[in-house]
Amino acid sequence: MHVLLFDMPLFFSNALIALKQVAMLYVIAGLGLAAERLRWFPEATARLCTKLLLYVVTPCTVLNSFLSIEYSAQAVRGLGISFACGALLHVAGILMSEPFFRGRGDRDGRRQPEAESVLHFAAIYGNCGYMGLPLAQAMVGPQGVFYVSVVILTFQVCSFTHGTFVMSGGIMGRRGNPEAKFQWKNLILNAGVLSVAVGLPLFLLRIPVPALLKTPLTSVASMNSPLAMLMFGAYLSRTKLHGLLRSKKLFLSMGIKLFALPAVVMSVLLLCGVRGDLLNAMLIPAAAPCANNTVVFAARHGRDTGYAAQVVSLFSLVSVVTMPLMIALGLSL
């Protein structure tokens, strides 16, 4: 019988490495916050950059990761494990959070209260893209981005189906708001799914890409980490967190997302014998704070976007401590 042994010196070493990488990202966020306060990069401008990041920079980052990894049986195995890990991450989040965020509904008994919908979504769906990709790039390199990209695919599938159901209060969209209703095209025709759909065949079929295309792709991909964190800093600048900490459900949601969920994923991966860069890469999206899409989905479904932004900001601030600890713990066992 194999027993997992905890190596305390290794834990502190891994925690220091992870903390350093997370801290460097937040230094960039600090620059974004300062730039917003000085009105050099106002929040309105940061929001206008969202589509640039979502539809141009992030897809280039994902595609570049597929083109930067040498084809091998180990890499293909890692892809399969990444997909399974992504499915595990979101299914576990759904099962763990469901008993706590059913809510009593509004007066008509059909919809969850707004705060419960936001916190329910936040407990499940992590920042795999804006936080996961930059940290995977910093800690693991292109191979980490390669693995996390597949987790993003499962995020897109689950968030546009179950996430829509949760944020709409269980009715998949409200009357008079057709944009809030679930649409299959949103599930398939989005930047995350399309970039994987293009990059995966290029990798599996080993199709060569000329330098004329690959070099500009790499250059744009290098913008992902700094642009994402500058934008996050700008959002954080105007966020008011006072009064938020009185909610018990907030701490429950945070506990599920930042502690319980990564602990479950970590345990399953370790028991399955996953180690090294693949384990490191998979712990990053598992331990990531709630997704920026929490605000986007709140807006689409008529929820309180100000409250959603506060929740995302608070989860992200706490993750400065929790992410390095969870990642270090997994790598030290």
Instruction: Identify the CA nearest to 43 among candidates 291, 254, 243, 305.
Output: 305
Burial group, residue 8, by CB count within 10 angstroms (0-12, 13-18, 19+): exposed
Asked if the model's pLDDT at residue 153 lies above 60, the reply is yes
CA dist 308 and 306 (Å) reads: 5
b/e sequence 181-201, b meaning 16+ C-beta within 10 Å: beeeebbeebbbbbbbeebbe
pLDDT at 174: 46
- Region 203-222: mean pLDDT is 89
| Range from 42-56, 68-82, 117-131 carrying the lowest mean pLDDT | 42-56
pLDDT at 181: 53
pLDDT at 45: 85
86-110 pLDDT, tens digit per residue, is 999 999 999 999 888 865 443 333 3
- Region 154-174: mean pLDDT is 74
Global confidence as pTM = 0.80
pLDDT at 35: 93
If phi > 0 it is left, if psi is from -120 to 50 it is alpha, else beta; for residue 135 that is alpha
284-323 pLDDT, tens digit per residue, is 999 999 987 887 778 777 777 778 888 988 898 898 889 8
- Region 163-182: mean pLDDT is 59
38-55 pLDDT, tens digit per residue, is 999 887 888 788 778 878
Tell me the pLDDT band of 5, cut-offs 50, 70 and 90.
low
| Domains located in the chain, CATH noted | 8-332 (1.20.1530)
CA-to-CA dists, residue 226 to 133, 135, 137, 305, angstroms: 11, 11, 12, 24
Asked if the model's pLDDT at residue 1 lies above 60, the reply is no
Q: Evaluate whether 330 touches 11 at the Cβ level (below 8 Å).
A: no
Q: Which residues pair with 126 in a beta bridge?
A: 290
Asked if the model's pLDDT at residue 112 lies above 70, the reply is no
